[in-house]
Structure 1
Amino acid sequence: MRASETRRQIVEVADRLFYEIGYEATSFADIARDVGLSRGNFYYHFKTKDEILDAVIERRAATVHALLDTWEDAGESPSDRIRSFVRILVENRTKIMAHGCPVGTLCAELSKLQHAARDDAARLFALFRTWLARQFVALGHEGEADALALHLLMRSQGVAALATAFRDEDFIRREVADMEAWLEARCPAAPSTVSHRPD
């Protein structure tokens, strides 16, 4: 196997383990075992767990960029694109109920550890924040776009946290529907297509 492919597999496995059991609880041995590498071969690719963490954050950033691009291309309107963000809670409900939000859990853990990479992890949220704010600007909410983006991020993180605690799929669906109603109330009314005959 080529070195680049082995490195990719290490980062992919580490990403999954950091999400499922946490950064601190994941050891070199855990990652090497799941990749199928000896410890010696493992150290050829990464010398420290922090190096792997940096690569995982970079991988997640690339995933977020790709996701945002997909929503941008698929959504016919800014509100459609924002709904894609909201509905990811339903689409990923099984993983969220089991392990929480992958961005939120990593940021929370690194903050508690006072880890040097905590600001890098927080930039994953910043990608969503900036993108959501841009959608709200397009909806005509330029003055409050960032506040609305943060509000939606807060709502989605709250839902993810409680979904993990209570394992309640109906709760996720109700909250997503409520967020969609909240969004609908902030969308400008479509121009009327009804023709009125002059009196």
Structure 2
Amino acid sequence: MPSSITSHHESSTRQRIVEAADALFYQRGFEKTSFADIAGQVKLSRGNFYHHFKTKDEILSAVIELRAAHTQAMLEHWTASEETPMARLGCFAEMLIRNRKDIQRYGCPVGTLCAELAKLEHPAHGEAGMIFGQFRHWLREQFMALGRRADADVLAMHLLSRSQGIASLANAFHDETFIRREVAQIHDWLLTLHPEEPAARRRAKTSNPPKP
């Protein structure tokens, strides 16, 4: 087999392993997910599996890297697709509704992983927490664009912590109505910061209408 084909195949296999591990770490937790669980998910022998990853910590690093890349791509998409910082902040709030089913069942993927790694005193805890840093930096930029330069970081942390609280309680109570109500309140709060842009609120409402 040509080396280029072999390299592509190995890259594809590694990617499948990381994506399977990402889902299992989210659904079961890092500690409760074994090599065998991941290998079984991608239908690989243990030998082939160890060719790509020798330890679960190596997989964890790859999963964190994947999540960080997905987060960055999402933030860049919001920045490019929305014309105003208010509309972009609305995208962040609506993320709770878009992912409501998974959040109710498993919680926030970033928050749950960070909490578990902190409990385990795992050295990758800080690495996982950097994904929150991506959100914090992006939110701060949006609030600065709204003219709130003096308290942009305070506002960013407030919105980030509120979204985490909503995700945590939604996971505890499995209450979709609660998620929708809290997201609506976030939109109301955002409008108090920049009341001249009610269109952002209207767009957010129509983009995710309540389902029966």
Following the alignment from structure 1 to structure 2, what is the Cα–Cα distance between the partners of residues 138 and 157? 23
Structure 1 vs Structure 2 CA RMSD:
0.9
**Equivalent residue for 1:138?**
145
**Equivalent residue for 2:204?**
none
TM-score where L is the length of structure 2: 0.88
- Residue of 43, 46, 49 corresponding to 2:53: 46
Following the alignment from structure 1 to structure 2, what is the Cα–Cα distance between the partners of residues 135 and 29? 43
Q: What's the secondary structure of 1:24's corresponding residue?
A: coil
**Equivalent residue for 1:104?**
111
Q: What's the secondary structure of 2:187's corresponding residue?
A: helix
Gaps of 5+ in 2: 1-5, 198-212
Aligned residues: 190
Residue 188 of structure 1 and its aligned partner are, at CA, apart by: 5.3
* Contact 1:14–1:52 (CA under 8 A) maintained in structure 2: yes
**Equivalent residue for 2:122?**
115
Q: What's the secondary structure of 1:47's corresponding residue?
A: coil
The answer to whether structure 1 residue 62 and structure 2 residue 65 are counterparts is no
Residue 183 of structure 1 and its aligned partner are, at CA, apart by: 0.5
**Equivalent residue for 2:135?**
128
The answer to whether structure 1 residue 160 and structure 2 residue 167 are counterparts is yes
Q: What's the secondary structure of 1:142's corresponding residue?
A: coil
Decide which structure has the larger Cα Rg and report it. 1
Following the alignment from structure 1 to structure 2, what is the Cα–Cα distance between the partners of residues 153 and 136? 12
**Equivalent residue for 1:14?**
21
Following the alignment from structure 1 to structure 2, what is the Cα–Cα distance between the partners of residues 189 and 168? 32
TM-score where L is the length of structure 1: 0.94
* Contact 1:96–1:163 (CA under 8 A) maintained in structure 2: yes
The answer to whether structure 1 residue 92 and structure 2 residue 99 are counterparts is yes
Residue 30 of structure 1 and its aligned partner are, at CA, apart by: 0.1
Residue 76 of structure 1 and its aligned partner are, at CA, apart by: 1.2
Give structure 1 regions of 4+ aligned residues with deviation exceeding 4 angstroms: none
Gaps of 5+ in 1: 191-199
**Equivalent residue for 1:82?**
89
